[in-house]
Amino acid sequence: MIKKTIAGITLSLMMSVSAHAACSFQNTVPVKSLTAAFEAWKAVTSAMGECGNVQAELDQTFRTKQPAAFAANPSLYHLGGVANGTLVPLLNAGSIRPLDDLVAKYGKHLTPNQFIKVDGKIMAVAMMVNAQHFMFREDALKDAGIAPPKTWDEVLAAAEKLKASGKFQYPLGATMKAGFDIGQDFINMFFGYGGTFVKADSTPSVNSEAGVKTLTMMKRLTAYMDPEYLVSDSTFVQKQFQQGKIAMANLWASRAGALDDPKESQFVGKIAMAAAPLAMAGGKPATTLWWDGLVVAKNIPDAEADAAFRVAMEGIDEEMVKANNAAAVWLVKGYVPNRLAGGAIASADGGAPNYPSTTQMGIMSAAIGERVADFMTGKTTAEQTLAAIESTYTTKAKEAGLIK
Amino acid sequence: MKARTFAAFVAPSVVLMLIFIALPLISVFVQSFYSTQQVFQQISVESCTPGFTTQTCTTELRSRQVMDAAGKPMTTTSFVGLESYRQLLKPEEVSKAFAAGGGGLSALMTIDFYKALRFTLSFTLITLPLVVGLGLLIALAVNNLTKSIRGPLIFISLLPFIVTPVIGALSIRWLFIGDGILTAALRWMTGSSIAMFAQGWTIEVLMMVYRVWHVAPFAFVVFYAGLQTVDQDTLESAIVDGASRMERLRHVIIPHLMPLIVFISLIHLMDSYRVFEEVIGFSSEAHRISLQWLTFSYLMPDETGNRSISRASASSMLTMVGIVLLLIPLLMRTWRDNRVSR
Amino acid sequence: MADTKALQPPLAMKLLIGGFVALWALVAMFPLFWVAIMSFKLPVDALSSNPLNVILGPSTRANVGGLSIISLALGIAVLVAIYQVPIRHGQSFASRLAPQGRMIIGWLVFVVLYLALAGVLLFMLLPLVSSLINAILIKVPLLGLLAEPIIGVTLEHYRAVWIQHEFYRNFLNSMMITFGVVTVSLTVGTLAAYGLARTKSNLAFWLLIAALVFRALPHSVLVTGYIPVFINSREWLAPLWTFPLTGWFFQLFSANAPSLYGQPLAIIIVLVSINQPFTIWMMRSFFMNIPNELDEAARVDGCTQFGAFWRVIMPVMWPGVITTGLFSFLLAYNDYLVTALLLDAQSQTMVPAISQYLNRDTRLSDQIEAIAAAVSITAPLFLLVMVFQKQIVSGLTAGAVKG
């Protein structure tokens, strides 16, 4: 055992020495980054680390930390990993800088569809897209003689059959942990039923027919889930798939890679990817499209921003994508879409909407995440829940100053 | 001691408490009557989002924050009186709940504040007798053992108390969540398919079990220390008088330990009223929340980076009023004791 | 204590008591014990629902290796020795190490030495010696069975946590903050408690009651007050740095006004303040038990009040100081709420850092790494109680809990 420890230490030392080899320059300015913690970010930050002097922090709770950390002067981090939703607080606080000149200097290899522009200025550079889409155990469905479901009603029917077959006690999985996850599930379904969340004057309009349908469908689905679904996040569902406990779920595209990882999963190659199911006939896939990308803090010296952006570009270069092709649906040159990307692409082709990066949507998502759990535990009816979401939204929007 | 010397001795401590306890308290009190808002304006913005091959650009009317000269968002602060308290207590919904056909208590329990208050109070009041009782039982039992095994037993007993609360709660959670080892054991024993984290009451029971497990050792060690000072002469004369074991316990030992029982109750009331770590450790947000967790959740920035400072302040103030009310009987006793002893 | 015949319980009761104590000991130990075992196994074993698999770790044994009966026996012997030393000989070692009767220094030196030695023994000498013996014995028939690995053990999660994820940074932060809190809080608190114990003024009484109410405050109430100040502290403090009269002084420390958010020093002060009420009450009851005549005698000999306190009272106070210090230690070391909200990742202590491990959780091994981190946090506490267990009981007996 001691030999292994020593070998481990030497190995890690050697890695940090040889690390610089893969980076085109030697970074001397200390750069700190704060990002989410899924596989794609692990790949990007470790590619950034090859340049030296990079301290990467990967944390799934980054969304609560980022706003305050970037608003500090000097900012506590140079680089931030953001997505549609998490960009908003940084934009609102004015704590990230426009990247046009940096892109001109170091970003020659970027393609135009990677830029997030606000008011004509590039505020973030995207590296990948993400979406919750349908994944299912191809073998199990075939055995039970079920055609891959295309709508949520078909999913229910398939779940019923699988449960009856006795092979799966709980055939369905879902990211329904109270808070962000369940809010996201609601938003996907609600868009699938063609609903609109807020009116033009920022007042809520979630208490509608689409809202009731959404809640009803979510409740019906839970009948086929592990009863602990209110603590079930993406990782929980991923494990359920890997251990063969569930046969179907709407899960993030960024988790697909882990399902094909032989070290973790017992069902490599058996889990198929498809577009998110339709909520209603003739509708669009019930999901939202997300991007993930990098921003640079405003409250740091220009020289540090320069170095940080340069490092970031090394993190999302062709070399990294080639080494981690399966980790995500990359937007970076050199990406070869594989089987695992099929679900996200099919969802986009089906016309699934982009997740709106607006302040209103941020507040709405938080309000939904807070209130839907009460419906699931049977404390409130659908109408009461929707009314409670609206009143929570209104309170928060008033606090934020959006509504007078 | 001269007044000046006294002042010199207590000054550092008092200054610290003033700055870091009293001052924040006052500021929270003041903040609960104010509300700070950001200033928004409607402008038309062209924004582009990435797509697989092409970019989608849209021009739309959006609410955007107004920035000041330094590039920081502009804010306005206004006096809102009891508005934040109203948003917490929701008096109109309460009266609706109790009006005819409103659903009464169960409707009340969908309002965060009352939900948290209900849980916090029952958590505090149910665990209190359990902690004192279990602590006393263990102390009496260990005190009856031979000296040589008391040491290791005290060590083992202290473990649940010293372990970091979040970690203690997590390790209980790991034993019970999903197909955890103890849930599996429960299923095997009862023959049913229990899921401990699927419904509120089981989580609540787990949280209380955890708290008793965590605090009873403290009660135990304090009582055990107290037992070492029981007057042997009194005990022996009680035996000579023919007092039975139970009578000795009731008339000699318990009265001797009474100040300690008050002490433990005081500490436990204070600590369990601010129950918080359990909510995090057991991720019970969907089912059970506590008052301190409520404040914490208002303080965490939401998806827009906004913290509900006013509501957090209001809920802090209400939480504080609650604990003071709970403590009054015990405070009165301490007050009397101190008066007498001086 | 129970020397009279009549005090001896009857046999049935003895059995009842024994059974109860045994049950309690099991309940007290089991969760921690089990989690500790899980941290040494590969995910497949650790998360297995068959308890035997968790304990024996067959897949860990097959993939990584394991401990033989010999190694186990050696390990247990070392653990017992580590447990026995401070209890049997802690007192005498400490007093031998103490310069001129300053017991606290003696204890400090002893604890540091003890921890270092225990670490070396457990993690370096033990594996070396046991692998040596195993290597020799495995050649011998029959005896070789004893050297055959039977329990699967892996250290890879600990390696991942401490080396790969640099948990030692959080460990150092924790140590710094805890050390700061314990020393400052004891210094300030002892002075105040002494003052309060030796005065008859009404003010002192009201101070004590106020402290009791402060003790009851939920910490989130206080943090609510801190957050806006901490985040905006640079702007709030800037005038002190730019104002000519005070500027030169503050610029000695840093060129610009600091941002309190993420500053360990600020956290130390905050935790000290939060801890003050309890420290004062506890120390005061210790001082109340020391007869007033002692300092009066010293005063007659020409000591000032402070001199009397320092030369005469403090030397007999050390059980109280240790007991109170231990509670301060637990508060600072175990704090989650304050450190989670007011520290950023670079300066984060171990307890809030563990929630990051849980959140990083995308692979099965991440979960076991979180468990390994949790065990790492608990281990120092474990040793601490081992060392001070006697002092806790005797300290509490000496009267800390009479108030």
Pairing of strands A121-137, A271-274: antiparallel
Instruction: Give how far A134 is from chain B: nearest CA, Å.
Output: 19
Between CA B203 and CA B116 the distance in angstroms is 14
Which of C31, C355, C390 comes nearest B175 by C-beta? Answer: C31
Q: Which of A337, A135, A148 is nearest to A251 (CA)?
A: A135
Contact A379 B308 (CB under 8 A): no
List phi, psi (to 5°) of C290. -95, 120
Note whether A98 and A122 are within 8 A (CB).
yes
Cβ neighbour number for residue B30 with a 10 Å cutoff: 11
More confident residue, B112 or C90: B112
Q: What is the C-alpha to C-alpha distance for residues B210 and B208, in angstroms, rounded to an integer?
A: 5
* Contacting residues of C for A235, CB less than 8 Å apart: 361-362
Tokens 């909520």 identify what position? A279
Residues A198/A208, Cβ–Cβ less than 8 Å: no
Nearest C-alpha neighbor of C273 from the set B130, A91, B21, B279: B21
- A206 is written with which tokens? 């979630």
- Using CA atoms, how far residue C174 sits from A247, C269, C343, in Å, is 44, 14, 12
Pairing of strands A54-58, A31-35: parallel
Cα separation, B253 vs C7, whole angstroms: 13
CB atoms < 10 A from the CB of C390, how many?
Answer: 16
Whether residue B49 and residue A112 make contact (CB cut-off 8 A), yes or no, is no
Contacts of C54 in chain B (CB under 8 A): 181
Percent of chain A with pLDDT over 90: 40
Residue whose pair of structure tokens reads 């009816």 in the numeric block = A381
Nearest-10 Cα torsion for B118, B121, B122, B128: 170
Are the beta carbons of B104 and B255 closer than 8 angstroms? no
3-state DSSP assignment of residue C3: coil
The rounded distance, in Å, linking the Cα atoms of A275 and B166 is: 40
Q: What mean pLDDT do residues C387-402 have?
A: 71
Query: Strand pairing of A54-58 and A172-174?
Result: unpaired
Max CA separation in chain A (angstroms): 67
In angstroms, rounded to a whole number, what is the distance separating the alpha carbons of residues C292 and B217? Answer: 33
Q: Are A290 and A116 in contact (CB under 8 A)?
A: no
Chain CA centroid to CA A257, Å = 14
Q: Are B21 and C217 in contact (CB under 8 A)?
A: yes
B168: tokens are 């203690």
pLDDT (mean) for C114-131: 79
- Quote the ipTM score: 0.81
How far apart (Å, rounded) are the C-alpha atoms in residues A353 and A187? 11
For residue C59, the number of C-alpha atoms closer than 13 Å in the C-beta half-sphere is 12
Pick the closest to residue C268 from C343, C341, C181, C174 (CA basis).
Answer: C181
- Within a 10 A sphere around the Cβ of B42, how many other Cβ atoms? 12
Give the residue from C341, C367, C369 showing the smallest Cα distance to C167: C369
**Tokens in use for C206?**
């009201």
SS3 content of chain A, % helix, strand, coil (to 5): 50, 15, 35
Question: What is the distance between the alpha carbons of residues B72 and B90, in angstroms, rounded to a whole number?
Answer: 34
C-alpha A187, offset from chain centre: 13
In tens, the pLDDT along B197-230 reads: 888 888 999 999 999 999 999 999 989 988 888 8
Alpha-carbon span B27 to C83, nearest angstrom: 49
Chain B contact set for C43 (CB, 8 A): none
Q: Number of residue pairs across A and B with CB atoms under 8 Å? A: 158
Q: How far is CA A394 from CA B333, C32, C92, in A?
A: 46, 45, 68
Tokens of B260: 């300690």
Q: Per residue of chain B (342 residues), give pLDDT as tens.
A: 678 888 888 889 999 999 888 888 888 888 888 887 777 777 666 677 776 656 677 666 666 677 777 666 777 788 888 888 988 888 888 888 887 666 677 778 888 899 999 999 999 999 999 999 999 999 999 988 888 888 888 888 888 998 888 888 888 888 887 777 888 888 888 877 778 888 888 899 999 999 999 999 999 998 998 888 887 788 888 888 877 878 888 888 888 888 889 889 988 998 899 888 888 778 888 888 999 899 888 877 776 667 788 888 888 888 888 888 888 887 787 777 666 554
Residue partners of B130: CB distance under 8 A and separation at least 6? B208, B212, B216
Helix (H, G, I), strand (E, B) or coil at B340: helix
Q: How far apart are CA B190 and CA B54, in angstroms?
A: 59
Would you call B41 helix, strand, or coil by DSSP? strand
- Put simply, the answer to whether C261 touches A242 (Cβ < 8 Å) is no
Residue A352 has what DSSP assignment? P
Take residue A342 and report the two structure tokens written for it.
């099929």
Cα B261 to chain centroid, rounded: 20
CB–CB of B67 and A226 under 8 A? no
Cβ-based contacts of C287 with chain B (< 8 Å): none
pLDDT, average across residues C62-81: 80
SS3 percent helix, strand, coil of chain C, rounded to 5, is 80, 0, 20
* Of residues C82, C183, C179, the one with CA closest to residue C123: C82
Query: What pLDDT score was predicted for residue B61?
Result: 63
Find the length of chain B.
Answer: 342
Please give the single-letter amino acid code of residue B157: S
pLDDT digits (tens, 9 = 90+) for B125-182: 999 999 999 999 999 999 888 888 888 888 888 889 988 888 888 888 888 877 778 8
Contact yes or no for A227 and B198 at CB 8 A:
yes
**C216 interfacial to chain B (CB closer than 8 Å):** yes
Q: Tell me if residue A274 falls in helix, strand or coil.
A: strand
Which ranges of chain B would DSSP assign to H, the alpha helix?
A: 3-17, 23-31, 83-89, 91-98, 104-108, 112-143, 147-162, 165-176, 181-190, 200-227, 232-240, 245-248, 254-273, 277-281, 291-299, 309-341
Q: What's the gap in Å between the CA of C359 and the closest CA on chain A?
A: 5
**Shortest Cα distance from A132 to chain C (angstroms)?**
16
Which residue from A25, A128, A26 is spatially nearest to A83, judged by alpha carbons? Answer: A128
CA pair distance A134, A148, nearest whole angstrom? 10
- What residue of A is the nearest CA neighbor of C128? A2
H-assigned helices in A146-301 = 152-165, 180-192, 209-222, 234-242, 256-259
Average pLDDT over residues C329-343: 85
pLDDT in tens, chain A (404 residues): 444 444 444 344 334 434 444 788 888 888 989 888 778 898 899 899 888 888 887 776 677 778 877 887 778 789 999 988 888 888 888 889 999 999 999 988 888 888 888 888 899 999 998 899 999 999 999 999 999 999 999 999 999 999 999 889 899 999 999 888 999 999 999 999 999 999 888 899 999 999 999 999 999 999 999 988 988 888 889 888 988 889 999 999 888 888 888 777 888 889 999 999 999 988 899 999 998 999 999 989 999 999 999 999 999 988 899 888 888 889 888 888 888 888 888 988 888 888 888 888 888 998 999 899 989 988 889 999 999 999 999 988 888 888 87
> Measured between CA atoms, how close is A11 to chain B, in angstroms?
31
Phi/psi zone of residue C399: left (φ > 0), alpha (ψ -120 to 50 degrees), beta?
left
Q: By CA distance, what is B308's nearest residue in C?
A: C224
Q: Which C residues in the span 190-249 are in contact with A, Cβ-Cβ below 8 Å?
A: 231, 234
Report the pLDDT value the prediction gives residue A66, as an integer from 0 to 100. Answer: 83
Task: State phi, psi for B145 to the nearest 5 degrees.
Answer: -85, 165
The answer on pLDDT for C78 being more than 90 is no
